[in-house]
Amino acid sequence: MTVTKIIAIKSLVPKAEVTVTGEGVVDWVRLNGETQPTEDEISAEITRLNTAYTNNKYQRDRAAEYPSIADQLDDIYHNGIDAWKATIKTTKDKYPKS
């Protein structure tokens, strides 16, 4: 995922209505009473969101590999909590937190 200027602006000023041109120029259509962020604040937010996305890759990897909730509940019912924990631990070990 690439964090764009518009994503950063919406993160900083959720109620604002803006458009961004291909050159990155922001047209502030409506701020809805909120303060317009500076270019430095927008750049810092892009960096923060990119870092958060990168740091949470393990969560996306785990989510893609975990069995469905229905399958996990079935596993618990038939094999018990300890067997379920072992199944989940395999995925957690494969994709550790950064």
Structure-token pair, residue 64: 């893609």
Report the distance separating Cα 9 and Cα 88, nearest Å: 37
Give the pLDDT of residue 6: 85
Kindly report the pTM of this predicted structure.
0.69
pLDDT tens, residue by residue, 40-94? 999 999 999 999 999 999 999 999 999 999 999 999 999 999 999 999 999 999 9
Give whichever of 30-34, 37-41, 68-72 has the largest mean pLDDT.
Answer: 68-72
User: Could you please report the per-residue DSSP string of 2-50?
Assistant: ---HHHHHHHHSTT-EEEE-TT--EEEEE-TTPPPPPHHHHHHHHHHHH
Is residue 32 very low, low, confident or very high in pLDDT (cuts 50, 70, 90)? confident
What is the model's pLDDT at position 76?
97
Asked if 16 contacts 26 with a C-beta cutoff of 8 angstroms, the reply is: no
Q: Is the dihedral of CA 41, 46, 49, 52 positive or negative?
A: negative
Quick check: 20 pLDDT over 80? no
